[in-house]
Amino acid sequence: SQQGEEDPQALSIQEGENATMNCSYKTSINNLQWYRQNSGRGLVHLILIRSNEREKHSGRLRVTLDTSKKSSSLLITASRAADTASYFCATDGPLGGFKTIFGAGTRLFVKA
């Protein structure tokens, strides 16, 4: 079962613009994480936000979490061509279990 679902599936922007990706999930969580994947390679952790947090920043990344709507967003500001990648949200399983559930991802293309 897919808990995290990203939106949009694909996003194409110009360098310097901001990119926003959204993630929705179905059950209660302990935390939500965002990962990045360059084509066919291993995933790299970007940021973790806990269920009692509403917003978190890391460099050009800003993540928000709305537990009432069961949704999260990842904002990349001042995007660069090197940000071109797929971005995935991941949540722990229902009832705070130790499963990890990934969404299908958003493919971001940043044009130079």
Partner 1 sequence: EAQVTQNPRYLITVTGKKLTVTCSQNMNHEYMSWYRQDPGLGLRQIYYSMNVEVTDKGDVPEGYKVSRKEKRNFPLILESPSPNQTSLYFCASSLIQGAVNEQFFGPGTRLTVL
Residues in contact with partner 1 by the rule CB under 8 A: 1-2, 4, 30-31, 33, 35, 40-45, 48, 88, 90, 92, 96, 98-105
Give 46-72 as a 3 state SS string: EEEEECCCCEEEECCEEEEEECCCCEE
Closer CB to partner 1, residue 10 or residue 81? 10
Least distance in angstroms from the C-beta of 112 to partner 1:
26
Least distance in angstroms from the C-beta of 14 to partner 1:
26
Closer CB to partner 1, residue 51 or residue 64? 51
Paired residues of 64 in beta bridges: 55, 73
Cβ pair 17, 108 in contact under 8 A? no
Closer CB to partner 1, residue 1 or residue 68? 1
Least distance in angstroms from the C-beta of 83 to partner 1:
19
* Cβ count within 10 A of residue 43: 18
Least distance in angstroms from the C-beta of 55 to partner 1:
19
Tokens found for residue 11: 């996003």
Q: How many Å apart are CA 93 and CA 8, to the nearest integer?
A: 23
